[in-house]
Every structure is written in structure tokens, then in C-alpha cells.
Structure 1
Amino acid sequence: MTSRLDRLEKAGLIACRPHPRDRRGTLVTLTQEGRTVIDDLVGAHVGNQRRALAGLGADDQHSLNGLLAKLIAGLAEGGETAAGERPRPPRAIR
């Protein structure tokens, strides 16, 4: 994780500073350049999702959403994901 943060900081996408009350922690914030990159990527990602789902009608998209929710629920039964996070159900794409 540290090497990833170091690369992002060197690229000017994030700023890191020590946590004011916990010497073990580091506070990480996006820079304006980082926000711009995220905004561009989110738009591209949403566009890719729309293109991927374009061949499915509303009923098929609803069915797919339900199936994906079942897959994620199956992962949740095991507790946490490999990244140590609780899985979240998918959101409908509009």
C-alpha cells in the first residue's frame, strides 16, 4: 500500500500528511489534479458500463442485477472480501 501511495503522491494525485493525533496514521487527500483524473475516469467507466449493457433490455438488466446481488451475497456469507471489505450489492445503472 505504501508504495502505491508513494507513486500517487509523486504523480501529484494525492497529498499525504501525518495524522495529528495518531503517529501510526497518515491522512491522504486527493489533489485537484487527482480529482480531475477521478472525474474523467468515472465518466469513462459509466460510459463503458452503458455500452456493455446496451444490448440488454430493462428486464434483462433487472435480472442481471438480481443475479449479481446473489453472487455478492454468497461472497458476504464468507465475511469479508480478499481486500478485507464487506461486499456491497450492485447499484442499478441508468
Structure 2
Amino acid sequence: MSDEAPDRVARIQEEWRRERPDLDPSPQGVIGRLHRTAGLLTDELVEVYSAHGLGEGDFDVLATLRRAGEPFERAPGDLAEHTMVTSGAMSKRIDRLEAAGLVTRRASETDGRGRVVALTARGREVIDAAFADHLANERRLVAMLDPDDRAALERILAGWLRSLGGD
């Protein structure tokens, strides 16, 4: 660590070293800081979603529909898979977005029992504006890092994610 004052994770590690000198708490240096960083980043991201009247899950659904391309629709099961939530949680999100006039639901033309969720014109306007602000926010957040560090961190995280079985 540099000449900077110890952060919360360093203090926790020191406490564990004192209380359990038989264990090495060094993994907490990475995991603890990554966990704390993720929480702080989530707070920063959610603030932008909220400015557009969206929650994190709402943003996720609208962005997934928008990325689908014309006609900006997907089956509810596809939405759940792309956003990694249960079908029950997805139904609640869709209900909320439909009530807000951001998506519609209709019967599938190819599956008699299936449904399709589609962005409304208003939903497209909302997600386009929210996504532009989201990218500007992400750009601001990663600008806190040196460009070489940012590239290295992206490479390291991508490799670690693959090792953990993430896509």
C-alpha cells in the first residue's frame, strides 16, 4: 500500500491479522475492494436511471428490448434470460413498464401460447435518453482511472469472469 491512509478494507485485514494470525486475509484486499467498488458504482448508475424515472431492473428490460433492434421486442423468457432474473421477477418488471406506457404485451404471431413484449415509442425515447446519460456517466466513472490501468483492469476482469464461468 502507498503512503495513503489505510482504507476500510485494510483496517479489516489488520483486525483479522491481529485476531487470527494463523490465517492470511490478503484475498480480502481484492474481493473486499471489488465488492465495495461495485456497490459504490451501482449507486452512481442507479442515480442516472432514477433521473429518467427508472429503476435498475426497468433500465435493464428497456435496454434489452432496445438492443434487440427493430421491432424492439422479445419474448418474456428471452428478456428473463438476457437480464438474468426469474420469470416471476420479469413479469413484475413488465407489468410496471406496461403501466408506465413504456412497453406493450401482445400474443406472439409464431407461438399460439406465447407473448411478446415490445417497446412503445415513448419507451424508446426514454431508453435512448437514459442510455445516452448512462454511457456519459460510465465514461465519467472510468475516467477516474489512468487509461493504461483501465485497459489492464478490463482485461483482468474479463479473464477472471471467464475463469469463474461467466460469459
TM-score, structure 2 length as denominator? 0.43
Counterpart in 2 of 1:66?
155
Structure 2 counterpart SS, 1:17: strand
Q: 1:9 aligns with which of 77, 84, 98?
A: 98
State percent identity of aligned pairs. Answer: 42
In structure 2, runs of 5+ residues without a counterpart are 1-89
Offset of 1:55 from its aligned partner? 2.3
d(CA) in 1 for partners of 2:108, 2:125 = 25
TM-aligned CA distance change 1:71 to 1:24, over 3 Å: farther
Structure 2 counterpart SS, 1:27: strand
d(CA) in 2 for partners of 1:11, 1:70 = 39
The RMSD of aligned alpha carbons is 1.6
- Give the 4+ runs in structure 1 shifted more than 3 A: none
Query: Structure 2 matches for 1:16-35, cutoff 5 A?
Result: 16-35=105-124
In structure 1, runs of 5+ residues without a counterpart are 82-86, 88-94
d(CA) in 1 for partners of 2:140, 2:102 = 28
TM-score, structure 1 length as denominator? 0.72
d(CA) in 2 for partners of 1:21, 1:40 = 32
